[in-house]
Amino acid sequence: MEEKSPLKKKKNNNTGTTNPPAEAASLLTDDLIVEILSRLPARSVHRLKCVSPSWRDLIADPVHRKKLPHTLAGFLYNTYARVDPRFHDFHFADVSIGAATPIDPSLRFLPRDKYWYVAQLDACNGLLLCRSYMPSSPSAKDDDVVESRYILCNPATERWLHLPSHPKVPPGGRVFLRLAFDPAATSYFHVL
């Protein structure tokens, strides 16, 4: 008679497929995930809000927020160039002590051949609402007619999005746009 070894693997009678990484991840408690996230830089934690709604809620929870690295402490602003007031210099005023500037507010990631001038209109929770002036045709020169479009920029991720075209403004009229965005509540933004 043959003896059975207690270390012998059991045959898997499940007919469904299993996903070992997903099973392992499901064993992590919220407290353990927060402990892991607390060891990451603030920028990485902010990006991880996009993993899933449950991670977004976990990171945004006021109880856990105290344990996690704090987000940026500062503000974005722009100044006009003295030589040509059409150009703006973007700046990040860091009010946290001893921290290096984590983002480049100059928006260098925007293609210069597509966007001649960029004016910052509003900022909200790390997103920038800008008006960009672009050539009306690919062969346009500096003194040719340009058209304006609104874009939404995220300097931390260096991504941008064109907003739908705005209606023509009558002569003497003005358009005021403002940005509303709360990443703790939703991943959607609103332009008002």
The model's confidence at residue 141, banded by pLDDT at 50, 70 and 90, is low
Residue 123 has pLDDT above 70, yes or no: yes
In angstroms, the Cα distances linking 125 to 106, 147, 180 are 17, 28, 9
Q: What is the reported pLDDT for 175?
A: 80
Residue 151, SS3 per DSSP: strand
Quick one: pLDDT at residue 152? 93
Of 38-42, 103-107, 135-139, highest mean pLDDT: 38-42
Contacts of 76 (CB under 8 A, 6+ apart): 90, 91, 92, 93, 105, 120, 123, 128, 155
pLDDT band at 40 (very low <50, low <70, confident <90, very high): confident
Indicate if the pLDDT at residue 14 is higher than 60. Answer: no
C-alpha span between 188 and 180 (Å, rounded): 9
29/19 Cα distance (integer angstroms): 18
Q: How far apart are CA 180 and CA 192, in angstroms?
A: 7
